[in-house]
């Protein structure tokens, strides 16, 4: 009986020493994109590694002198599973904040799991520069923890026609300078 007890204890200790397999926390993220001045573009707010999502919410800050938010629409992540109640939030292009964007799954189980797009935000690029896309007030299943957020960024570059005109203007200025310099030598 002692041998059996020792064997059981040995097996139990080996099982306890095995590393725990912890599921990765879900991640809510915005991408890094580069667009041109005047472009209208969509920023997908995505989730990965989610299990049994019943609700989510976020605020998103941006630089209003660089980009202007136009609209927020529901992504397919929740609605692909069934009926939802989506709230597009409130856009404030003066302060650069989209607040209280939220969605709730109001259908029968199974609840949404996996990954996909939570919401799509349409912006217009106003001026060259960089606008961070910064999350705040984020909740997943009515909790403000147990997940990660990854902020995004929009880089706005001058439109190609502006770059071409700038290049032509610089070339013309250098040409005039070159002619004046060489005209003096004659």
Answer whether residue 176 is part of any domain. no
Spatial distance between the Cα atoms of 105 and 112, rounded to a whole number of angstroms = 8
pLDDT of the residue at 167: 64
Q: What is the pLDDT of residues 69-96, one digit of tens each?
A: 999 999 999 999 999 999 999 999 999 9
Give the number of other CB atoms < 10 A from CB of residue 3: 7
Q: What is the largest CA-CA distance in the chain?
A: 114
- Gap between the Cα atoms of 13 and 5, Å rounded: 12
Q: Residue 41 class from Cβ within 10 Å (0-12 exposed, 13-18 middle, 19+ buried)? A: middle
Nearest alpha carbon to residue 30 among 98, 106, 111: 98
> Do 126 and 1 form a contact (C-beta atoms < 8 A)?
no
Query: Which CATH number belongs to the domain containing residue 127 in this structure?
Result: 2.60.40.680
Which structural domain, as residue segments, surrounds residue 122?
24-169
Instruction: Encode 134-172 in three state secondary structure.
Output: EEEEEEECCECCCCEEECEEEEEECCHHHHHHHHHHHHH
Is the residue at 5 inside a domain?
no
pLDDT in tens, 131-153: 999 999 999 999 999 999 999 99
Q: Rounded distance, CA 52 to CA 91, Å?
A: 29
The answer to whether residue 11 is domain-embedded is: no
Asked if residue 90 belongs to a domain, the reply is yes
Residue 79 belongs to a domain:
yes
Q: Is residue 122 part of a domain?
A: yes
C-alpha–C-alpha distance, residues 42 and 95, integer Å: 20
Kindly state whether residue 178 falls inside one of the protein's structural domains: no
Identify any residues that bridge with 92 across adjacent strands, giving them in sequence order. 97
What is the reported pTM?
0.76
- Total tally of structural domains belonging to the chain: 1
| pLDDT band for position 9 (cuts 50, 70, 90) | low
46 belongs to a structural domain: yes
């Amino acid at each position: 009986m002692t041998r059996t007890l020792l064997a059981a204890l040995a097996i139990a200790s080996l099982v306890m020493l095995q590393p725990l397999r912890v599921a990765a926390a879900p991640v809510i993220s915005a991408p890094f994109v580069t667009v041109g001045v005047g472009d209208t573009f969509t920023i997908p707010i995505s989730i990965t590694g989610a299990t049994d999502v019943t609700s989510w919410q976020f605020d998103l800050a941006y630089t209003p002198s660089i980009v202007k938010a136009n609209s927020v629409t529901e992504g397919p992540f929740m609605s692909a599973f069934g009926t939802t109640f989506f709230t597009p939030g409130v856009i404030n292009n003066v302060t650069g904040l989209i607040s209280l964007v939220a969605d709730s799954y109001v259908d029968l189980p199974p609840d949404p799991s996996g990954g996909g797009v939570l919401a799509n935000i349409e912006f217009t690029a106003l001026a060259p520069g960089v606008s961070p896309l910064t999350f705040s007030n984020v909740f997943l299943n009515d909790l403000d923890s147990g997940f990660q957020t990854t902020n995004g960024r929009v880089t706005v570059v001058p439109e190609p026609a502006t770059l071409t005109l700038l290049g032509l203007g610089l070339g013309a200025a250098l040409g005039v300078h070159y002619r004046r310099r060489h005209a003096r030598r004659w």
